[in-house]
Amino acid sequence: MEFMEHSTYKKWSAEFIGTFWLTLGGCGSAVLAAAFPGVGIGLLGVSLAFGLTVVTGAYALGPISGGHFNPAVSIGLAAAGRFKASQLAGYIVAQVLGAIAAAGVLYLIATGKPGADIGGFATNGFGEHSPGKYGMTAALLCEVVMTAVFLIVILGSTARRAAGGFAGLAIGLCLTLIHLISIPVTNTSVNPARSTGPALFGPSYAVSELWLFWAAPIAGAIIGAVIYRALLSSGNDD
Give the pLDDT confidence score for residue 234 in this predicted structure.
Answer: 81
Q: Give the rounded percent of residues in the chain with a pLDDT score beyond 90.
A: 90
pLDDT in tens, 156-202: 999 999 888 999 999 999 999 999 999 999 999 999 999 999 999 99
* 159-177: b (≥16 Cβ within 10 Å) or e: beeeeeeebbbbbbbbbbb
Structure pTM? 0.95
Q: What is the mean pLDDT of the chain?
A: 95
pLDDT tens-digit series, residues 123-158: 999 999 999 999 999 999 999 999 999 999 999 999
Q: CA Rg, the chain, in Å?
A: 17
CB-based contact 87:96 (threshold 8 Å) = no
Does the 2-232 domain belong in CATH 3.30.390.10? no
Alpha helices in 29-135 (DSSP H): 42-65, 71-79, 88-110
Q: Quote the pLDDT of residue 110.
A: 97
Residue 230 CA to residue 81 CA, distance in Å, equals 12
pLDDT over 50 (residue 113): yes
Q: Give the type of residue at 8.
A: T
Interatomic CA distance for residues 70 and 15, integer angstroms: 8
Residue 4: pLDDT band with limits 50, 70, 90: very low
CA distances from residue 54 to 5, 114, 148, 172 in whole angstroms, order as listed: 26, 33, 17, 5
- Provide the percentage of residues in the chain whose pLDDT is more than 70: 96
Q: Kindly state the average pLDDT of the residues 193-215.
A: 97
pLDDT at 163: 87
- pLDDT of amino acid 87: 96
Annotated domain spans of the chain:
2-232
Residue 222 has pLDDT above 90, yes or no: yes
For 25-59, the pLDDT digits (tens) are 999 999 999 989 899 999 999 999 999 999 999 99
